[in-house]
Amino acid sequence: MNYDNLNNEQLVNAVIRDYLSSEKFETALKGKAYYKNNNDIKNKQRFIIIDGVKQVVNNVQNNIIIHPIFRELVDQKINYLLANDWNVEDNTLSEIFDDKFRLVVEKATIDAISCGIGWMFATPENEFKYVDTLEIVPIWRDVAHTELNKVIRMYKDVEYTILGKEEIHYIELWDDEGVTTFRKQGGKYKQYTDKSPHLKQKITTILGGLEEKQYGWGKVPFIPIKYNQDEVSLLTLVKSLIDKMDETASNTQDLLSDLSSKVAVITNAMGTNIEEFVNNRQLYRVVVLPEGGTYTETGTEPDITSAKAWLEHLRNQIYIAGRGYDPLQAIGANASGDARRNLYTSLDLDANQLEYGILEAFRMCIWFINNSPSNKFTIPENTRIKFSRNMMINQGEQIDNAVKAQGIEGITKRTIVAMSGLVENVDKEISESEKEQEEDFNKNQEIFNNNKNKEEENENGNV
């Protein structure tokens, strides 16, 4: 969509109108909902046809079974890639990328997987804030979505007046130099404030006074994390399978509740209206027969064998399409490393593209850190940041491999210690080990010197 010929007020109204009616926004809403286990099956109803008219039935069992399998897939990817300590090879950046920053990244990454893209916001104080992806509408400079032109942020606020509480809708339009606020009035957004700069800083003048200097970043201070380069959410890949799984389980439970496979047997009830009889039984669970009539049910309990097989098939297909691992797929505590790696193959492939999206976001974070007026950092944008993937391991096999690696030319002590999997902080462990070795050497040296002195004393005494 080309918005080049519109002024800012026309721009925000056109973009918001198009976005709220788009498939992309609907997918983001669904991604958020399914992560919270609010699947579409929650709206399930049961119907009956009377005189050709479809009507809702309210007095029969309407079982709703929701499988939290989408949240499990998302959390698998988050924990697999981000749960372990990150190796940040720059001390300054390591301090900025602290536990608080990690929580922000995890929340934005959950949005990325669920909705296709997640967002962070850069502040002048070298902090990065999580922003709900449902609030953000990006306007890109290029079709590849590599550089932001503008960002629209939607939010609501509650204001209290003499008439009571009122919910007000606002929009912020961010560009390279500042932000302009718009307020919804009469169904349209009207400009509410003039553009203000991204950054303000108090500086001391030559005469000793304070002066406020205003800056623009030169970039829109929002940082995307993409699940993949097409910004396609995980839900797009598995939603139809999850919906069918919920539907099959819910309908099967309805069948068990109704015992609908049994056949009604009516005797001595000539003239009974069969349609009325069936409707009464389904709607009111009451059977009305003429005097002398009898009613029984015959048949077996419902056979749900095919439903169980179908549910197992759907579950398997969901983990395949969602590139996860099924925790019910047991491999045993003593399974080899190869067997465990095979279990994680699909998840590892998905983590590769997600890792690329996160590292690209980190490079943008470094740019904002280096260009913040509050500091003069010059952190290399290619600083290496490595994630240690959280995979179940065979500890004995891992230690054995580390032992075998000793003595191989070119492999460092640090690599071997890391291979063992026994320690969390490799550098600290090596430092403590060297300290212990030094203490043991000094202790042994002291014992040797004491023994040598005693021998010399004994020799001198015997002379």
Lowest mean pLDDT segment, chosen from 42-46, 69-73, 279-283, 401-405: 401-405
Q: What is the pLDDT of residue 394?
A: 41
- 76-105 pLDDT, tens digit per residue, is 999 999 998 888 988 899 999 999 999 999
Question: For residues 419 and 401, is the Cβ–Cβ distance under 8 A?
Answer: yes
Average pLDDT over the chain reads 83
**Closest by Cα among 177, 209, 168 to 195:** 177
Lowest mean pLDDT segment, chosen from 89-98, 284-293, 392-401: 392-401
Give pTM, 2 decimals. 0.77
If you write DSSP's letter for every residue of 368-425 in order, what string do you get?
Answer: HHHT-TT------TT--EEE-------HHHHHHHHHHHTT-TT--HHHHHHHH---S-
For residue 298, the cross-strand partners are 263
What average pLDDT does this structure show over 409-415? 68
Residue scoring higher pLDDT (77 or 295): 77
The terminus-to-terminus CA distance of the chain in angstroms comes to 106
Question: For residues 67 and 318, is the Cβ–Cβ distance under 8 A?
Answer: no
For residue 387, the cross-strand partners are 86
Question: For residues 201 and 373, what is the distance between their CA atoms, to the nearest angstrom?
Answer: 8
Tokens 């389980």 belong to which residue? 249
Q: Kindly tell me if the per-residue pLDDT of 173 is higher than 90.
A: yes
What average pLDDT does this structure show over 366-392? 84
Sequence-separated (6 or more) residues with CB below 8 Å from residue 49: 55
Question: For residues 154 and 16, is the Cβ–Cβ distance under 8 A?
Answer: yes
Q: Kindly tell me if the per-residue pLDDT of 206 is higher than 70.
A: no
**Closest by Cα among 181, 126, 174 to 148:** 174
**Phi and psi of 175, rounded to 5°?**
-130, -165
Share above pLDDT 90 across residues of the chain, in percent, rounded to a whole number: 46
**Closest by Cα among 122, 97, 120 to 215:** 122
Question: For residues 290 and 67, what is the distance between their CA atoms, to the nearest angstrom?
Answer: 46
Q: What is the pLDDT of residue 339?
A: 60
